[in-house]
């Protein structure tokens, strides 16, 4: 009893601390206090979300910990001998728990009990402070997308890509400076800053990374570096004979001679760029290390076994000499640099197509070259890679594209309860692909080994690609080969697709295409008319026909408006497609007094002026149309450079008889539409639906009366008589001056109508020191010298 009580106290004191590896996670069975002990052990050993066994973090000594593990294993073996039935149940539970075991990290060093599984980074166990090796997958204006181990993806903000001392020196810092420094396929070392829950997708987490060398090289000193070591530095300045490098530290700098740098003809070295080099000499007086960056030398340079090296000096991407210590369930364990051990999971073995006998290739004490894949300082867990491309300091090439279909892919290995490893017959070389057990068939497959045999051929479609492992992911489900949409790249604006409603919210409905791609149907597009409760129209699980409105990046929006879905007219998805005369459907997004805006596909929009809406004099557009309404319109003009499109709801240009045309010098009536600081906007009463303008000085014959009239005018006021002074397209210049209206018939519009010594009416349009200009109808203008107008001045 005393021994049993002592065990319980030790376990209880360790609650809340990191857990042991799965190999020793077996519960105690005691005759007394069994329930209490089981509960305590369950709290300690629960592995729904595996934690990291903390090397040196336990209050137990190594001897005590080994005793507990040994007793647990002994009791578990006794259970197995006692009941075959219980053994089968435990075996099934063990298989189900494997994914979590694969995600746990073990870092007990070269002493203690060996783990069963290789370390593997997952969303559950990744944490701030981890150092990871990655491949640049995307270079954007404001961030970088990094492909990480295990198929994870991380983001690097522009401000975290460089140390401030370097970013201040980078030219064109406000532009696309990231594209001048980084490129897709570039290997980089990074450190995890934080993890955020993705608000867009439940259960997803955003991994924020930093490439700052000040964080990666923290702990480095001039005494710690030695000749033959590979270091990465920023180019902080370009000199005549070489490049000054900054390692994120103030204790020393670097210099790389140009004759020691194999510069590519196509790549120009820029300030802020990352360069790798091998230390050739160390000048401790000047605190400068001299390097050579010959790619062949850098790729073959092995980290030396330094006395007293700490885990802080390990950097992802380091090349090391290692020896096989043991084979694990899903990889191998290696020992390196005397003090350290690391594991290699099956995705990073030397053979990219490891079959079921892969363990035969890794005998104990076999010597191999490996590179560091990740380091977790908190658990002292280290991941390594034997991938030939990565060992040679190059990212694995990609020979497949997402969505590609391969009919004759060979099954290389069947992992019971997990999935299939396939050999894809890509060109010029084959590509490994892994198919998860959930993607092998429409129905649940409980026994993969019976349904699939090694060496058989299957039809697979590529789901994704892990850039760091050079491993593609695939799917065998029959539904993956149906329908026009499988990936985001398949989605095109205007395409009609069938999708299933999977969620409803206040902002709209989330729908899913047969291939698995998701899209948003905004609330305004869930019906031809606005509906208060979308749930009455849309039901989760319902399959409906939609039309794609836009696809920006991976954000897809669709519409369920019947007029748009069933429209046979051409679409406008770019300003270049808005050719004059094109008739199409769009939907109103904003209504103003002088017209409304119409939205098309991919965010393109145009404007329909009031004169093209077919409204009568005094009609209010807001009373005739509503936001969200689908309208049929015609393109009357466009300017792709300025992103302008002019529209009309009149399908054909209005053809007017000469009697209906507004002529220069004619008298018309109109209604005030609006007022500006310099003029009054008039809707002219005519079949042409023209718009006119009365400048302030033309409201009356005298300025005082014109100002008074302007102050009392309001929209809707009717002018019975207005003189057409000028016509500019569909807009006309009007005058309300009584003196001009009464003499409209005598106003000349052409110089041929003017005779010497005849008296004609006009209006002063401009004054200069030597005289004044007099305007008649149209642009006909005369000049009167100052000596001839003295009686009027």
pLDDT at 471: 92
Please check the confidence at residue 675 and state whether its pLDDT lies above 70: yes
- Comparison of pLDDT for 167 and 133, the residue scoring more: 133
Please check the confidence at residue 6 and state whether its pLDDT lies above 80: no
Question: Within a 10 A sphere around the Cβ of 30, how many other Cβ atoms?
Answer: 16
**Per-residue confidence band for 208, with pLDDT thresholds at 50, 70 and 90:** very high
pLDDT at 17: 37
**Per-residue confidence band for 607, with pLDDT thresholds at 50, 70 and 90:** very high
H helix runs in 355-444, sequence order: 388-391
**Per-residue confidence band for 585, with pLDDT thresholds at 50, 70 and 90:** very high
pLDDT more than 70, % of the chain: 78
Please check the confidence at residue 551 and state whether its pLDDT lies above 50: yes
Given 3-state DSSP classes, what are the helix, strand and coil percentages for the chain, each rounded to the nearest 5?
25, 35, 45
pLDDT more than 90, % of the chain: 28
Cis-peptide into 428, omega within 30 deg: yes
At 746-789, the pLDDT tens digits run 888 888 888 888 888 888 888 888 888 888 988 888 888 888 77
Contact yes or no for 734/693 (Cβ under 8 A): yes
Please check the confidence at residue 22 and state whether its pLDDT lies above 50: no
pLDDT at 631: 92
Residue (of 663, 708, 705) closest to 684 by Cα position: 663
The residues with which 732 forms a beta bridge, in sequence order, are 692, 727
Average pLDDT of 654-673?
73
At 553-562, the pLDDT tens digits run 778 999 999 9
Angle, helices 84-103 vs 62-82, to 10°: value is 140
Average pLDDT of 322-328?
92
Was domain 582-648 assigned CATH 3.40.50.150?
Answer: no
| Least trusted range by pLDDT, from 304-308, 386-390, 716-720 | 304-308
pLDDT at 72: 44
Q: Which residues contact 34 (CB under 8 A, 6 or more apart)?
A: 28
Was domain 130-215 assigned CATH 2.60.40.1840?
Answer: no
Contact yes or no for 191/216 (Cβ under 8 A): yes
pLDDT at 422: 94
Which helix (H) or strand (E) segment holds residue 406: the answer is strand 405-415
pLDDT at 487: 75
**Per-residue confidence band for 170, with pLDDT thresholds at 50, 70 and 90:** confident
Tell which CATH classification among 3.10.20.440, 2.40.50.140, 3.90.550.10, 3.40.50.720 matches the domain 404-481.
Answer: 2.40.50.140
Residue (of 460, 546, 466, 560) closest to 499 by Cα position: 546
- Comparison of pLDDT for 20 and 115, the residue scoring more: 115
SS3 assignment, position 386? coil
Residue ranges of the domains in the chain? Answer: 130-215, 404-481, 491-566, 582-648, 666-788
Contact yes or no for 400/472 (Cβ under 8 A): yes
Was domain 491-566 assigned CATH 1.10.3720.10?
Answer: no
Average pLDDT of 661-676?
84
pLDDT at 70: 52
Gap between the Cα atoms of 789 and 240, Å rounded: 77
pLDDT at 56: 36
**Per-residue confidence band for 199, with pLDDT thresholds at 50, 70 and 90:** low
pLDDT at 209: 95
At 464-519, the pLDDT tens digits run 889 999 999 999 988 788 777 777 778 889 999 888 888 888 788 889 887 778 89
Query: How does DSSP classify residue 240?
Result: S
Contact yes or no for 400/481 (Cβ under 8 A): no
| Least trusted range by pLDDT, from 33-37, 419-423, 436-440, 737-741 | 33-37
pLDDT at 11: 40
**Per-residue confidence band for 40, with pLDDT thresholds at 50, 70 and 90:** very low
Which CATH fold topology does 666-788 show? OB fold (Dihydrolipoamide Acetyltransferase, E2P) (2.40.50)
Q: Name residue, tokens 């939907």.
A: 587
Please check the confidence at residue 423 and state whether its pLDDT lies above 90: yes
pLDDT at 140: 87
Q: What is the mean pLDDT of the chain?
A: 80
H helix runs in 14-139, sequence order: 34-45, 62-82, 84-103
Contact yes or no for 397/465 (Cβ under 8 A): no
Which helix (H) or strand (E) segment holds residue 708: the answer is helix 703-712
| Identical fold between 404-481 and 582-648 | yes
pLDDT at 264: 47
Angle, helices 2-13 vs 34-45, to 10°: value is 30
Please check the confidence at residue 25 and state whether its pLDDT lies above 70: no
**Per-residue confidence band for 417, with pLDDT thresholds at 50, 70 and 90:** confident
Angle, helices 2-13 vs 62-82, to 10°: value is 110
At 52-108, the pLDDT tens digits run 333 333 444 445 445 545 554 555 455 545 544 444 444 444 444 344 444 556 665
pLDDT at 432: 94
Please check the confidence at residue 162 and state whether its pLDDT lies above 80: yes
pLDDT at 653: 62
**Per-residue confidence band for 659, with pLDDT thresholds at 50, 70 and 90:** low
Q: Name residue, tokens 């197995």.
A: 80
pLDDT at 187: 94
Gap between the Cα atoms of 692 and 246, Å rounded: 68
Please check the confidence at residue 734 and state whether its pLDDT lies above 50: yes
The residues with which 596 forms a beta bridge, in sequence order, are 591, 608
Do β-strands 274-283 and 595-599 pair in parallel, antiparallel, or remain unpaired? unpaired
- Comparison of pLDDT for 17 and 125, the residue scoring more: 125
**Radius of gyration of the chain, Cα coordinates, nearest whole angstrom:** 39
What are the φ/ψ torsions at residue 104 (nearest 5 degrees)?
-80, 150
SS3 assignment, position 584? strand
The residues with which 520 forms a beta bridge, in sequence order, are 510, 557
């Amino acid at each position: 009893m005393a021994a049993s009580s002592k065990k319980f106290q030790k376990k209880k004191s360790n609650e809340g601390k990191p857990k042991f590896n799965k190999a020793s996670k077996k519960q105690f069975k005691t005759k007394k206090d069994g329930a209490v002990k089981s509960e305590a052990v369950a709290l300690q050993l629960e592995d729904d979300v595996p934690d990291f066994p903390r090397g040196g973090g336990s209050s137990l000594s190594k001897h005590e910990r080994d005793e507990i593990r040994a007793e647990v294993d002994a009791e578990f073996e006794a259970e197995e001998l006692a009941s075959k039935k219980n053994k089968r149940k435990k075996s099934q539970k063990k298989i189900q728990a494997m994914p979590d075991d694969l995600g746990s990290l073990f870092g007990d060093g070269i002493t203690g009990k060996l783990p069963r599984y290789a370390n593997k980074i997952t969303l559950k166990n990744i944490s701030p402070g981890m150092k990871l090796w990655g491949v640049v997958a995307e270079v954007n204006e404001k961030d970088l997308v990094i492909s990480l181990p295990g198929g994870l993806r991380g983001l690097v903000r522009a401000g975290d890509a460089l140390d401030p001392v370097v970013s201040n020196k980078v030219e064109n810092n406000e532009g696309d400076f990231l594209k001048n420094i980084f490129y897709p396929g570039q290997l980089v070392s990074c450190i995890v800053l934080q993890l955020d829950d993705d608000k867009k997708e439940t259960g997803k987490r955003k991994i924020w990374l930093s490439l700052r060398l000040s964080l990666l090289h923290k702990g480095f000193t001039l005494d710690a570096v030695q000749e033959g070591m590979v270091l990465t530095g920023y180019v902080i300045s370009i000199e005549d004979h070489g490049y000054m490098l900054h390692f994120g530290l103030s204790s020393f700098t670097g210099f790389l001679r140009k004759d020691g740098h194999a510069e590519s003809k196509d790549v120009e070295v820029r300030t802020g760029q990352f360069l790798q080099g091998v230390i050739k000499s160390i000048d401790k007086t000047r605190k400068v290390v001299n390097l050579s960056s010959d790619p062949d030398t850098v790729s073959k340079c092995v980290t030396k076994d330094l006395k007293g090296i700490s885990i802080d000096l390990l950097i992802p991407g380091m090349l090391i000499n290692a020896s096989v210590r043991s084979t694990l369930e899903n990889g191998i364990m290696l020992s390196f640099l005397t003090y350290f051990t690391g594991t290699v999971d099956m995705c990073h073995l030397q053979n990219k197509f490891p079959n079921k006998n892969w363990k035969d290739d890794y005998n104990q004490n076999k010597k191999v070259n490996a590179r560091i894949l990740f380091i977790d300082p908190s658990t002292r867990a280290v991941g390594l890679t034997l991938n030939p491309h990565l060992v040679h300091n190059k990212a694995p090439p990609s020979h497949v594209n997402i969505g590609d279909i391969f009919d004759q892919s060979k099954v290389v290995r069947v992992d019971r309860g997990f999935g299939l490893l396939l050999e894809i017959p890509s060109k010029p070389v084959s590509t490994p692909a892994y198919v998860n057990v959930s993607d092998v068939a429409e129905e649940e497959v409980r026994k993969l080994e019976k349904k699939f045999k090694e060496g058989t051929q299957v039809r697979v479609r590529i789901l994704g690609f892990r850039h760091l492992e050079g491993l593609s992911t695939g799917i065998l489900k029959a539904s993956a080969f149906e329908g026009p949409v499988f990936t985001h790249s398949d989605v095109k604006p205007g395409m009609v697709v069938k999708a299933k409603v999977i969620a409803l919210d206040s902002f709209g409905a989330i729908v899913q295409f047969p291939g698995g791609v998701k899209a948003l149907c905004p609330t305004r597009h869930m019906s031809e008319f606005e509906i208060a409760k979308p749930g009455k129209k849309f039901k989760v699980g319902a399959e409906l026909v939609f039309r794609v409105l836009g696809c920006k990046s991976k954000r897809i929006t669709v519409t369920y408006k019947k007029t748009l879905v069933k429209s046979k007219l051409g679409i406008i998805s770019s300003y270049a497609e808005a050719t004059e005369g094109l008739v199409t459907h769009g939907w109103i997004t904003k209504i103003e007094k002088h017209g409304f805006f119409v939205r098309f596909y991919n965010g393109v929009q145009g404007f329909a002026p009031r004169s093209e809406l077919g409204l009568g004099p005094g009609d209010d557009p807001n009373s005739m149309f509503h936001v969200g309404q689908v309208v049929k319109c015609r393109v009357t003009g466009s300017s792709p450079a300025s992103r302008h499109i002019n529209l009309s709801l009149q399908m054909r240009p209005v053809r007017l008889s000469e009697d209906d045309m507004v002529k220069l010098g004619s008298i018309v009536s109109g209604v005030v539409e609006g007022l500006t600081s310099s003029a009054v906007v008039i809707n002219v009463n005519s079949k042409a639906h023209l718009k006119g303008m009365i400048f302030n000085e033309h409201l009356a014959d005298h300025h005082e009366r014109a100002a008074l009239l302007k102050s009392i005018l309001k929209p809707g006021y009717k002018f019975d008589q207005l003189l057409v002074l000028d016509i500019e397209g569909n807009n006309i210049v009007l005058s309300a001056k009584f003196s001009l209206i009464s003499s409209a018939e005598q106003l000349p519009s052409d110089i041929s109508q003017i005779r010497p010594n005849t008296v004609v009416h006009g209006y002063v349009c401009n004054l200069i020191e030597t005289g004044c200009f007099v305007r008649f109808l149209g642009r006909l203008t005369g000049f009167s010298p100052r000596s001839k107008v003295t009686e009027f001045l």
